[in-house]
Amino acid sequence: MHKAVRILVVISIAASLIPAAAQAQTAQQVLDKLIEAQGGRAALAAIKDMTYTGTAEMVQFGMSGGMTMHQKEPNKMRMDIEIMGMVITQAFDGEAGWYTNPQTGTEEAMTEQQAEEMKRQSIGNTALLAPDQLGISYAVKPNETVDGKEHLVLEQAFKDGRRATLYIDPATYLLYKTKAMGSSPTGEEMLSEVITSDYGKEGDIIVAKSLTIFQGGQEFIRVKFTKVAFNSGLTDDFFKRSAK
């Protein structure tokens, strides 16, 4: 056998032994595996709304309380956190964002910057299943080592120009970390990072039961979910302000 042919055969055999995660993949291939890891396209598409119940610990303030997070496809979200006997709400109704002022207890409109950020956070499984409908695109970036382990990296680009970086575990194809620029409680723009962990099966879906949120490199909130419910029949009005 000609030397060049032998070398080509050896290279081909070696390449076949490389794990699939280590070979070059398109953004769509990584996205498809991320969808499959969470239960599959059909199972995710069947979810019209989700309700997470658990606790939130505000690390920097030394406070904790009950938390309920509701999401309705494609882009509605509401979070209720009970602290010191008071319920603080943040919501996006698909068009506008609002919150409960903790000092007055009244419902107020978010600033434009806060509402745009909440709008991006409110997007559910549609961001994975039909990103084109929302003007979202994905691009593969070089692998990065996060917390001592190499991860696949996808860049998520929104139609408003904002971007987020998704770090995906190549062994499970589950999301480990999300990084993007966001707003602090005072409105200052800073780096926001979310670590997702404690994955478990709920019905046909694999969901993360723990979130750790960092702002500006500092641990900000720890969230633990104890209950997850699907398709509870949440109405659009549930996400709207009760007073205009």
**Residue carrying the six token digits 């882009």:** 75
pLDDT-based confidence at residue 23 (cuts at 50, 70, 90) = low
Confidence at residue 20, expressed as pLDDT on a 0 to 100 scale: 44
More confident residue, 183 or 137: 137
- Within 10 angstroms of residue 76's Cβ, the number of other Cβ atoms is 24
**Superfamily the domain 24-81+113-236 falls into:** Lipoprotein localisation LolA/LolB/LppX (2.50.20.10)
CA 207 to chain centre: 11
Residue 15 has pLDDT above 70, yes or no: no
Residue 8 has pLDDT above 50, yes or no: no
Confidence at residue 16, expressed as pLDDT on a 0 to 100 scale: 45
Tokens, residue 215: 């702002």
Least confident of 65-74, 160-169, 175-184: 175-184
What is each CA distance from 102 to 67, 89, 105, 112, 182, in whole angstroms? 15, 9, 5, 19, 21
Q: Which helix (H) or strand (E) holds 230?
A: strand 218-230
| DSSP letter assigned to residue 95 | S
End-to-end Cα separation, the chain, in angstroms: 81
Q: What is the mean pLDDT of the chain?
A: 89
Contacts (Cβ under 8 Å, ≥6 apart) of 21: 152, 170, 171
Average pLDDT value for residue range 11-20: 42
* Residue 224 contacts residue 54 (beta carbons within 8 Å): yes
Express as a percent the part of the chain with pLDDT over 90. Answer: 75
> What distance separates the 2 farthest-apart alpha carbons in the chain?
84
Confidence at residue 123, expressed as pLDDT on a 0 to 100 scale: 94
Mind listing the pLDDT tens digit for each residue in 77-119? 999 999 888 899 999 999 999 999 888 889 999 998 889 989 9
Mind listing the pLDDT tens digit for each residue in 198-219? 999 999 999 999 999 999 999 9
**pTM, full prediction:** 0.85
**Residue carrying the six token digits 């979202």:** 136
Nearest residue to 216 via CA among 184, 174, 169, 176: 184
- Within 10 angstroms of residue 120's Cβ, the number of other Cβ atoms is 19
Q: Are strands 86-92 and 76-83 parallel, antiparallel or unpaired?
A: antiparallel
Confidence at residue 162, expressed as pLDDT on a 0 to 100 scale: 93
